Amino acid sequence: MNESLLLTIAVLGGTGKEGKGLAYRWAKAGYRVLIGSRASAKAVTAASEIIQLLEGSSSVVGTTNLEAAQQAEIVVLTVPYAAHRETLESVKEALQGKLLVDVTVPLVPPKLTRVQMPPAGSAAQEAKEIVGEDVEVVAAFQNVSFKYLLGEEDLDSDVLVTGTSKKARAEVLTLVEAAGLTGWDAGPIENSVVVEGLASVLININKQYGSKHAGIKITGVTRNS
Ligand SMILES: NC(=O)c1ccc[n+]([C@@H]2O[C@H](COP(=O)([O-])OP(=O)(O)OC[C@H]3O[C@@H](n4cnc5c(N)ncnc54)[C@H](OP(=O)(O)O)[C@@H]3O)[C@@H](O)[C@H]2O)c1
């Protein structure tokens, strides 16, 4: 058995659009997935929706954000930016020694088409400041619309993966592949500003061209693996 499939992934805010889609994809790939929420009953409902979609053949459990973070090896954060700091502070202790995957785009309503980075440089760097030295932080999936995550279609959108170490980025590239997407090591966490900023560019493109799910694709590279 692939050793990575023995890992448990917590998706904090996994009751929402992006988190539920990613949770579905990883559960389908065979991972044990914990859906986290501020209200465990809401997470239990989201988990049973995913189990139903997968016709029972999956391990998905709904619980609180804190319990999910405590029980998982990899913790994925999918909450609106307004809830980013508060959610991270509430699970900070449980994250120590683990890998945090931050999906957050630091959007500041109502100007969603304008890049507005926090003082730390990006949401991912802000996360790193909050959770501290002993947590590897990787940013990923910011440019993947939730739109098709709950479906069976191939996703024509690449994932740029930035983060605090090459090893941590490689771990997340495995999760990207498991979700049925193509991922690229996009370098250190400082590069997250570009990837998170691209989300506003894509929202602008959606608005200008009447689409709902513009994405990105890397061209001109031959992959060895
Ligand atoms: N939607 C997309 O297509 C997409 C694509 C790429 C990246 N993202 C990023 O992914 C993140 C989640 O996006 P989303 O569209 O999934 O968001 P969402 O559906 O609006 O919210 C996700 C979850 O966050 C929790 N939440 C909402 N408001 C909160 C608050 N004030 N305090 C604490 N928790 C709160 C809720 O969970 P509970 O009520 O269960 O606690 C909610 O179900 C965002 O940062 C977004 O920029 C989204």
pLDDT averaged per 10 residues in sequence order, the chain, 225 residues:
76 98 96 98 97 88 98 98 98 98 97 97 98 98 93 85 98 96 97 98 97 94 76
The pLDDT score that the predictor gives to residue 3 is 59
Cα(166) to ligand 1 centroid in Å equals: 27
Retrieve residue 185's tokens.
Answer: 């090591």
C-alpha separations of 84 from 133, 149, 220 in Å: 18, 22, 35
Residue 200 beta carbon below 6 angstroms from any ligand 1 atom: no
Q: Cβ–Cβ contacts within 10 Å for residue 140, how many? A: 28
Best residue among 24, 78, 145 to mutate for probing ligand 1, ranked by most atoms within 8 Å of CB: 78
The whole-angstrom separation of Cα 223 and Cα 149 is: 24
Q: Whose CA is nearest to atom 45 of ligand 1?
A: 104
Cα(153) to ligand 1 centroid in Å equals: 23
Residue 142 beta carbon below 6 angstroms from any ligand 1 atom: yes
Cα(219) to ligand 1 centroid in Å equals: 30
Name 137's bridge partners.
100
The whole-angstrom separation of Cα 96 and Cα 98 is: 5
The whole-angstrom separation of Cα 203 and Cα 210 is: 10
Q: Whose CA is nearest to atom 9 of ligand 1?
A: 104
- HSE-CB at 135 with a 13 A cutoff on CA atoms is 28
Q: Is 48 helix (H, G, I), strand (E, B) or coil?
A: helix
Best residue among 22, 35, 49, 79 to mutate for probing ligand 1, ranked by most atoms within 8 Å of CB: 79
Retrieve residue 66's tokens.
Answer: 């804190």
The pLDDT score that the predictor gives to residue 222 is 86
Cα(223) to ligand 1 centroid in Å equals: 33
The whole-angstrom separation of Cα 189 and Cα 121 is: 10
Residue 103 beta carbon below 6 angstroms from any ligand 1 atom: yes
The pLDDT score that the predictor gives to residue 2 is 62
- CA 218 to mean position of chain CA atoms: 19
Instruction: Give the position, in ligand 1's atom list, of the atom nearest the Cα of 19.
Output: 16
The pLDDT score that the predictor gives to residue 6 is 77
